[in-house]
Structure 1
């Protein structure tokens, strides 16, 4: 090895040795994005070759073949052949073979003393068939992944090794800190959830329609212009059509923008990466790609692709967590509510592999989960739960008074308010922002928000900002209560009129 292993990388090798020594044949090694997973892999390869063992190193994407060969060469490992199409580096006599899984599925697999499976969270049924063959039963298969949380992965791997975490590496300065803003809140209530390669997630067609609303597309660009500070940025879209809309919107705003999808040739993708590095373009809109194997200097992530998948979310944010000179943090502009839904990416952690069985939720499990972040009502910055003063803008909500004035009447805010259940435990700013959202989303009269605010507080929202905020369940219940009360009042009025007419 040309480079000395860092402490967590050396620890990873130690955990793997112990796992194999204690009889495990299918260990899974988890290494966060930016932890040097390829360097760890190179150390494993070098150790195997030094003992006279041949190695097969599999990758799921064509783009990772040359990248892996180059990384191995940087570590002094040059005895490498490639199994992939008519690749110029094809050499079956070399002890190390870097192969795409797709090619191995079509060819006879050469013998090996150890198999390394890169990006092992991306599961192919062929892996299971290969592992189950009698002649491979005693050969170690080592999975490498930043996110080995695929459902059923525990059926095939027998030991999860976690030498470090994203939070630990950020604390040591080996990964970049990050700041998250949630400037918009899309309505995904009508988007179906289906089975995907990342588990249960939003259906792409419905998601694309929801996220392609002009106000959301324009909001992505306007927010970046306000907060992006010209940082080199990756923008993650739902599909090609959505990515093109975002790219066109950035270009229309005078922001030089690149576009990448699965069909973008490797040389063109490399040129786009160089242009981003040189500042010739500021934003790269992409879809179905740039979630793995990207070592670009990225300082801003735009998440315009909502997801329910911890795997996809972690892989996306991980593109911006590599450190770089002059980079004090990665800016994450989350237009998808994913951070609010899943939590901060460095709080996502699993201590065991999923064996495919139904996991019953328990109080103990819920107690272990970190509380989800909260949005600052002033600047949309996401802060850890329990932090009152916003680290970004300094806004600190005032504590709710135990007496609330409504329509000139003082109402005690104690206990359950059955008679006045419409009162909700929000600050005036939160109520005003949620009323604005409700007015816009439901197509209400321009006077709706002000009228309801005045009805509640007996005054106008003077001095409050007018940024809409998605309502929570408590606010929704309050609005439902008002609608029911209004409907009952109208029904009573009709009966009175009918009785008067009959008389």
Structure 2
């Protein structure tokens, strides 16, 4: 049934991991793959395998355009299927494989003889879809997500399979590396919050105040780094902010188009089609939410972040993923941050980038501590604004970083200490205190802290366990210790 559907090594490992999970009694599982990891190809392979065995299988998504895109992908591989969506020309309910909208599935309430259900963008939890999964215990379920951090996912999916990382895909050339510039930020001091996130109205009003800075920074960076305009997507604070941005870009001589929920599907489809052309007349698209899922345009070179989040790490990851898809001649993706999100979620992003996902409902959607003014300044090059890497020489302008101990919570010079595949931004005493804090919280013996520190650094701890103080523990340390514990447990069970 399949035509030229060849999976990569980690994609085959993902299928093996899911099979093992089902065999172990996990009926509903989450498959994590980074943006660009080929989740749709893995899903298609599962759908085809189920149909080959004579079973019914379905993939559900919450937007019509995503149903159409997935159907087209199945056609590419010559896989027969129906589309369970009102008014669709492929509405053929007798087919073994069905692509269906969440709304249609929820209205039906049942799906006779269904053996496998795949939920796309599973971090967007729909109450009725979760209820459908709960009420149909005979159906095996696989959720797909590049950002499975939504609170409560652990109550729907009892196992998570993660076989590759963003770092691995960047190293393999499947994703483009990011170059991040921290620019003038939307000031959200004192802004109202709704449901834990900043009010859209407040964010929009404050975003409009720096629209001129956003436009001028884009002009400066795009000419400086590419010699001229390159395809761009911008995430605005709200619809009014997006429209204001489009107008200011127009005044500067550039064609940016603002799209929103107010536009009909035909209008948006026509805009997307024009933007996808290699010689598109559109320099950039601006939206609040629409571009965060189901939008794939690999030759996008620049992302503008102008929608501040206080807790939605999932949305931040989805936005970054829109710019990181690989494309011939694309050596890197440029990320221009006016929202403060990159520093706000830096620890979580680095943990995800290097380690992947190994547990659900980990609290990542809780409001984040706002970096201080000093921390924000210390995180970027004082001359050009690019985010500092592990070295003290800016890769963009060549400026030398001056280490300032005042921004370090624990006294002592900042050192380059490699933790797994990233660099710990602190010093030996700070690292030892964090490890001891974890060991104490878990009720482990002091020897556990000694061995962890030595395992992570290859050195002996700087002082006694009894002299360590309790300090906040960074996500980098938490995730690296968790990763090593998982690897140790797998080694024992092998």
TM-score interval (norm. to shorter): 0.7 to 0.9
Structure number with bigger Rg? 1
Written as runs of structure 1 = structure 2, the 5 A alignment for 1:464-475 is: none
Q: Is the 8 A contact 1:48 1:55 kept in 2?
A: yes
The aligned counterpart of 1:205 is 201
The 1:357/1:281 distance shift into structure 2, 3 A limit, reads: closer
Q: Is the 8 A contact 1:153 1:355 kept in 2?
A: no
The 1:86/1:210 distance shift into structure 2, 3 A limit, reads: same
Matched, 1:116 2:123: no
Q: Is the 8 A contact 1:301 1:320 kept in 2?
A: yes
**TM-score normalized by the length of structure 2:** 0.73
Q: Is the 8 A contact 2:179 2:333 kept in 1?
A: yes
How far residue 358 of structure 1 moved from its aligned partner, in angstroms, is: 11
The aligned counterpart of 2:343 is 340
Written as runs of structure 1 = structure 2, the 5 A alignment for 1:129-140 is: 129-133=131-135, 136-140=136-140
The aligned counterpart of 1:354 is 361
Q: Any idea what SS the aligned residue of 1:301 has? A: strand
Written as runs of structure 1 = structure 2, the 5 A alignment for 1:38-53 is: 38-53=40-55
Residues 8-50 of structure 1 show CA distances to partners (whole Å, capped at 9, x for unaligned) of 2111111111111111101100111111111111011111111
Tell me, which stretches of 5 or more residues in structure 1 are unaligned?
362-370, 402-413, 416-503
How far residue 267 of structure 1 moved from its aligned partner, in angstroms, is: 3.7
The aligned counterpart of 1:377 is 382
Quote the Cα distance in structure 1 between the aligned partners of 2:213 and 2:104.
43
Q: Is the 8 A contact 1:30 1:146 kept in 2?
A: yes
Q: Which moved more, 1:338-347 or 1:136-145?
A: 338-347
Q: Is the 8 A contact 1:118 1:144 kept in 2?
A: yes
Residues 242-289 of structure 1 show CA distances to partners (whole Å, capped at 9, x for unaligned) of 100000000010001222212433443333234333231111111220
Quote the Cα distance in structure 2 between the aligned partners of 1:145 and 1:358.
15
Q: Is the 8 A contact 1:250 1:256 kept in 2?
A: yes
Q: Is the 8 A contact 2:313 2:365 kept in 1?
A: no
Quote the Cα distance in structure 1 between the aligned partners of 2:153 and 2:186.
32
Q: Is the 8 A contact 1:54 1:114 kept in 2?
A: yes
Residue of 300, 305, 322 corresponding to 2:325: 322
Q: Any idea what SS the aligned residue of 1:132 has? A: helix
The 1:14/1:356 distance shift into structure 2, 3 A limit, reads: same
The 1:382/1:50 distance shift into structure 2, 3 A limit, reads: same
Q: Any idea what SS the aligned residue of 1:113 has? A: strand
Q: Is the 8 A contact 2:186 2:206 kept in 1?
A: yes
How far residue 110 of structure 1 moved from its aligned partner, in angstroms, is: 2.2
Q: Is the 8 A contact 1:343 1:373 kept in 2?
A: no
Written as runs of structure 1 = structure 2, the 5 A alignment for 1:95-244 is: 95-111=96-112, 112-133=114-135, 136-195=136-195, 200-213=196-209, 216-228=210-222, 229-244=228-243
Quote the Cα distance in structure 1 between the aligned partners of 2:219 and 2:250.
12
The aligned counterpart of 2:434 is none
The 1:350/1:11 distance shift into structure 2, 3 A limit, reads: closer
How far residue 183 of structure 1 moved from its aligned partner, in angstroms, is: 1.5
Residues 415-439 of structure 1 show CA distances to partners (whole Å, capped at 9, x for unaligned) of 9xxxxxxxxxxxxxxxxxxxxxxxx
The 1:21/1:273 distance shift into structure 2, 3 A limit, reads: same
How far residue 357 of structure 1 moved from its aligned partner, in angstroms, is: 12
Quote the Cα distance in structure 2 between the aligned partners of 1:380 and 1:357.
27
Quote the Cα distance in structure 2 between the aligned partners of 1:210 and 1:400.
31
Quote the Cα distance in structure 2 between the aligned partners of 1:85 and 1:190.
45
Q: Is the 8 A contact 1:262 1:287 kept in 2?
A: no
Residue of 36, 56, 78 corresponding to 1:34: 36
The aligned counterpart of 2:460 is none
Q: Is the 8 A contact 2:151 2:362 kept in 1?
A: yes
Written as runs of structure 1 = structure 2, the 5 A alignment for 1:470-489 is: none
Q: Is the 8 A contact 1:153 1:356 kept in 2?
A: no
Residues 318-348 of structure 1 show CA distances to partners (whole Å, capped at 9, x for unaligned) of 0011100111110011111111111174543
Q: Is the 8 A contact 2:149 2:364 kept in 1?
A: no
Quote the Cα distance in structure 2 between the aligned partners of 1:244 and 1:263.
12
Q: Is the 8 A contact 2:150 2:364 kept in 1?
A: no
Quote the Cα distance in structure 2 between the aligned partners of 1:95 and 1:400.
63
The 1:320/1:144 distance shift into structure 2, 3 A limit, reads: same
The 1:32/1:357 distance shift into structure 2, 3 A limit, reads: closer
Matched, 1:20 2:29: no
Quote the Cα distance in structure 2 between the aligned partners of 1:265 and 1:176.
32
Quote the Cα distance in structure 1 between the aligned partners of 2:18 and 2:386.
40
Written as runs of structure 1 = structure 2, the 5 A alignment for 1:422-501 is: none
Quote the Cα distance in structure 2 between the aligned partners of 1:126 and 1:327.
41
Quote the Cα distance in structure 1 between the aligned partners of 2:378 and 2:7.
35
The 1:118/1:358 distance shift into structure 2, 3 A limit, reads: closer
Written as runs of structure 1 = structure 2, the 5 A alignment for 1:343-422 is: 343=346, 345=349, 347-348=351-352, 349-354=356-361, 374-384=379-389, 386-398=390-402
The number of residue pairs the alignment matches comes to: 384
The 1:343/1:280 distance shift into structure 2, 3 A limit, reads: same
Quote the Cα distance in structure 2 between the aligned partners of 1:286 and 1:355.
29
How far residue 108 of structure 1 moved from its aligned partner, in angstroms, is: 4.4
Quote the Cα distance in structure 2 between the aligned partners of 1:241 and 1:358.
26
Q: Any idea what SS the aligned residue of 2:400 has? A: coil
Quote the Cα distance in structure 1 between the aligned partners of 2:8 and 2:24.
25
Q: Is the 8 A contact 2:50 2:56 kept in 1?
A: yes
The 1:108/1:331 distance shift into structure 2, 3 A limit, reads: same
Quote the Cα distance in structure 1 between the aligned partners of 2:377 and 2:178.
16
Q: Is the 8 A contact 1:208 1:238 kept in 2?
A: yes
Quote the Cα distance in structure 1 between the aligned partners of 2:377 and 2:292.
24
